[in-house]
A and B are shown apart, each in its own frame.
Chain A
Amino acid sequence: MLHIINKSPMTSVSLESCLSSATGGDILLIEDGVYAATRGSAVEAKLQGAMGKFKIHVLLPDLEARGLGDRVIEGVSPVDYAGFVDLTANNKNCQSWL
């Protein structure tokens, strides 16, 4: 299953809710959700901890827009829009944590 998060981890509980209820699969961080994938932030440890259970992706154009394209946490895989489409196509269902 694919989980999509578009909210900043510092202002919304979307990421936390997702991590604590989802059973595994793919997580894609988009829009303000991409801040969770940046090195040195207070949620870095939380994201690291989730890596065993989930495969975590981040939408690179959204990171670059925010000036953080060069700070992706190791182990998080950057994807472009085509990668976004592939993720939705390759998963049987999808939940957006709006």
Chain B
Amino acid sequence: MSSNVKKFMFVNRKAPYGTIYALEALEVVLITAAFDQDVSLAFLDDGVYQLKKGQQTKGIETKNFSPAYRALEDYDIEKLYVEKEALAARGLTEEDLLVDVTVLSRAELGTLMDEQDVVLSF
């Protein structure tokens, strides 16, 4: 890795389907993966809902894009951080999520955000 590798963090704070943010973020993440940067994804607030297992979108006739989070590994994106407080406030646990993640407190996520060269917000 050369010295021009930057730390990119995508901060996801929106629930899927209700708005376009989650899907747009995912697409940008997949594109960014081609540039061999140090990419991480953080899921805060309603963003944690993006990773909920068992999404079935047939009824709303919308593409279910949640399986793509499981392909992130193939794209060498392995740093997924989820806000602990956000899970708790929504009655969710790590077992409810469709990928392996690192659960961090809000404060820890804030520190991690500080360490980034680029933060992209969705």
Contacts and interface: CB of A to CB of B under 8 A. Distances in A.
Interface of A: 6-8, 10-11, 31-32, 35, 38-42, 44, 60-62, 64-71, 80
B64 A66 contact: no
A61 B57 CA distance: 7
A11 B17 contact: no
A1 B33 CA distance: 50
B8 interface: no
Contacts, number: 76
Contacts of A11: 14-15, 45-46
A8 B91 contact: no
Looking at chain B's contact residues, the main secondary structure is: loop
A64 B66 CA distance: 13
Interface in B1-55: 14-19, 45-46, 49, 52-55
B90 interface: yes
Nearest to B66: A67
Nearest to B57: A65
Contacts of A31: 17-18
A62 B60 contact: yes
Contacts of B59: 60-62, 64-65, 80
Interface of B: 14-19, 45-46, 49, 52-60, 62, 64, 66, 89-92
A42 to B, nearest CB: 4
A80 to B, nearest CB: 8
Given A60-B59, A67-B53, A68-B52, 11 more contacts: A38-B91, A39-B91, A42-B90, A61-B59, A61-B60, A64-B56, A64-B58, A66-B15, A68-B54, A69-B54, A70-B54
Given A42-B89, A66-B49, A32 B18 contact: yes
